[in-house]
Amino acid sequence: MNLQMPKLADVGILCLALIYQYAQAQFAVQEIADGVYLHYGVHEQISIHNRGDISNIGFIVGDEFVAVIDTGGSRGVGESLRREIENITNLPVRYVILTHAHPDHIFGVSAFDSAMTEIVGHKNLNNSLIQRGEFYRDRFINEGFSERDLELLPQKIIVESELKLDLGNRQLNLIAVKTSHTDNDLLVLDESTKTIWTGDLLFRQRVPVIDGDVLGWLKSMEMLSVYDVNLIVPGHGLVATSWTEALADQKRYLEKLISEVRELLSAQGSIQQAVKTIAKDERDYWLLFDDHHGQNVSRVYTQLEWE
């Protein structure tokens, strides 16, 4: 067995090299509004063959600077995004905005390591990276990613509540949200095209993942609709043109989780019953439902049992 291992490892390295080349050739961005570019992540679990390219990422070009919004789940994805930027403009990337600390949004950040570039995030982003960075890294390394794929850069600009960034005749408004999907969610509003990047405050098609406060999340969703926007870019799934359209499925899902868990709790139902029975009819609406729904129920249950 030992004698065979080096050969197999070589095959593995060859596989990886080919996968990377192939994936980079396939990487595409589209201009969804004037100067606003989006790359759609795939609706899969993170794996070495999708390079962690599972979330929506992109960039906005001003007269002087570029701002990147999320970087994908590995350095490779970040590099693909950087190459697309270089094909489109010679302007430097001044800001890399991380909408929250989940690995599929942040691990591409090291592709933007430059003296010119500052990492921007919610005031809780850094703490979350401290708490979780190593955990995510271990999980990714188990999936076959390398250390180099997973380097992080220090956060330089902290958004306490709101912050404006100027890209040259183009203002981005960054809004730190109270604990919702996570405790470090950040919104990015491009004022000139009225395009809003919600990060994972909004999931479409792919089932939402609850990693913060489900009640807070619903409140934040109500708050979202005060923003007058033309285009809504979710963290996962297709862009939408109205809040009603964008939020409907997620709102129904979260509200159903909350009301059914509350009902079960008042009937003294157990957490085991909860994961078996709650909101199963939502299965038809969502991709990757079986991968995340049980965990969502378990988290909503352990939050609401304190009410």
Partner 1 sequence: MNRLNQSPLSALFYCFAFMATPALAQQTAADDAGRWENVKAAIFKQASIQEDDYSIQLEAPKRAYDAAIVPIKVNVSLENEEYVEKLYIVVDNNPAPLAATFKFRTRQSKMEIQTRIRINEYTNVRAIAQTSSGDYLMSKAFVKASGGCSAPMLSDQEAALARAGKMKFKIGESSEQLPHSSIGQILISHPNNSGMQFDQISRNYIPAYFVNQVSVRLDDKELFLLETNFSLSENPSIHFSFDLEQKPDSVISVKAIDSNNSSYENTWKIKG
275 binds partner 1 (CB under 8 A): yes
Q: Interface mask (CB under 8 A) for partner 1, residues 42-81, using x and -?
A: x-x---xx--------------------------------
Interaction between residue 218 and partner 1 (CB under 8 A): no
Stretch that binds partner 1, among 5-13, 28-36, 198-206, 254-262 (CB under 8 A): 5-13
User: Applying CB under 8 A, which of residues 128, 195, 220, 250 lies at the interface with partner 1?
Assistant: 128
In angstroms, how far is the first alpha carbon of the chain from the final one? 56
Of 139 and 156, the one with the shorter C-beta distance to partner 1 is: 139
Between residue 178 and residue 197, which ones bind partner 1 under the rule CB under 8 A? Answer: 179, 183
Q: Which residue has the tokens 């201009």?
A: 31
Q: Of 139, 148, 156, 280, which lies in the binding site for partner 1, with binding defined by CB under 8 A?
A: 139
- Which of 3, 115, 169, 306 contacts partner 1 by CB under 8 A? 306
Min dist. Cβ of residue 164 to partner 1 (A): 26
Between residues 111 and 297, which has the closer beta carbon with respect to partner 1? Answer: 297
Q: Tell me: does residue 132 bind partner 1 (CB under 8 A).
A: yes
Tell me if 127 contacts partner 1 by CB under 8 A.
yes
Contact pick of 33, 163, 271, 288 for partner 1 (by CB under 8 A): 271
Under rule CB under 8 A, residue 295 binds partner 1: yes
Alpha-carbon distance values, 115 to 12, 13, 62, 109, 204 (Å): 35, 32, 19, 14, 36
- Where along the sequence are the contacts to partner 1 (CB under 8 A)? 1, 8-9, 11-12, 14-16, 18-19, 22-23, 26, 42, 44, 48-49, 124, 127-135, 138-139, 144, 152, 154, 179, 183, 211-213, 216, 268, 270-272, 275, 294-295, 297-299, 302-303, 305-306
